[in-house]
Chains A and B, each alone.
Chain A
């Protein structure tokens, strides 16, 4: 299976480790992974901020880059949602199927146990776009439960938004920070060593809050846990 990895602009710049983990994981599971080198951004920031002509141009770029692959895999539910649900709104017909990582592992490859070893106490934060956008359900939790040595610590009010929301985080910084404070308190109540999610954008918010609060809790993308041995 020829898979195009869509890394996302945020991961490319700030979290390249997650991209490397996705490559390691998919190759381990027998996929032929390619990285279309001309890729940049899916256009979500422009779309969600109201700049539709620019978003449309970026969407067309993505369509060109992933044409001919069997699947697009991306370690970001909100970018996957953009490509799957919003491109049609922009009139861009992109036909290569797009999967968020946990969907691809569970639904396409049919794997739950990827052979990972991660002997730590982990809480899982379901990001809004994975939970209510893509509706990934319990796929990420099934993957985490199969990780050897991993202990799951339930996060209180897990389905509450962390307050990131893209440009919302700076346009409405005060509200975003208030939402973050509650999320940080919930993480502390769960007492994990690691907070895991499917999207590094939300983890940038939560991790930024945890770090500012002097917390020892680390944030990790699901891919980074699943690639660990």
Chain B
């Protein structure tokens, strides 16, 4: 068989739901696009184990793997997103082992090494005596509270294993295939659960019947510096270890009450502002700062309705009047209707609409990605300027947040910086040539938001002073 004969698979929503339902791994990073946009993955990702089990099933069905499997090692290099089409690439094959990769174009997604040989003839000792857990929502593991953590995990529907991975279940046994699937459920639902990212696994296959109901697990080590958990596993004819990151939690901007102590009372009184993309991050912070200074604000959201309403409640409950309201606005759609029925007339607007910024890509430049950024940072901004200028009798002042990455950027931010750079030119020309609108552009350094979340946050600084300064600048310019 040549590489060309190896199959590919599109991991669509149907297969995503089927794996989630069978495994019981319903972690929101797989299933909930709204939650995902506030994590470093950005969009729903395919269960890593799903990709591995699919590939093993294909390779067995195609007789690429025909010997008994003694050991499986996997490293999840990059995320596979829902609707991605993934291929299998054989890297090395000899009589003892097979190494292959799941890939999309030139981008390595998962590395798998299968060692052939007789299964272990050793009895497996359970790592926990706890009963099997069926969690409906992911556990929220916390390094300070649960250092010594163990448990026992099954899958939601073991009967579906045969249907999803028939060749693998026949070759390795239903019990062991179910055990491999349960590793996803351990990481996604139990340990570390909610804030998790599966990193790697190294398991031995046992020939003995262990009589362990489900897969038991126990934390062996947690690295504070890297957030990496090393977890021992035993059961379902498997033993070994899995590694998972305890991923960063979404960044919460300071509460309104804290900002009240920073912002001068009445500083933004008599001002009404529209904050586009105000349900989270810098947009949410801007809304709170303006409201803390006595301004009236409308915060727009595209998908984060609940978050927008939460901020509105936080502000209005404290102020005991409705100075904050919400507006559904998608900058990639026709915005004439929502913008012509604003609850209050506005004299300022802030433009924080953005897609997920940090992306994986297989080449230096992606036209598709550039077009997406451009539609937000140029088209969306221009369309709002036009509509507001037409609808408003007085002059409007607009804030456009650009980025220091235009001048100096890390690898992989080419399209983002290019689109922001185009937005800067647009800002300049709107101020110069449009009669009814004045724009202020500011290059912001990386600030601590969901967009700058990584495994560890090194360079992003607190956003409060930077945003407060930008808001003040906008108001002083408008006065002048």
Partners in one complex: no
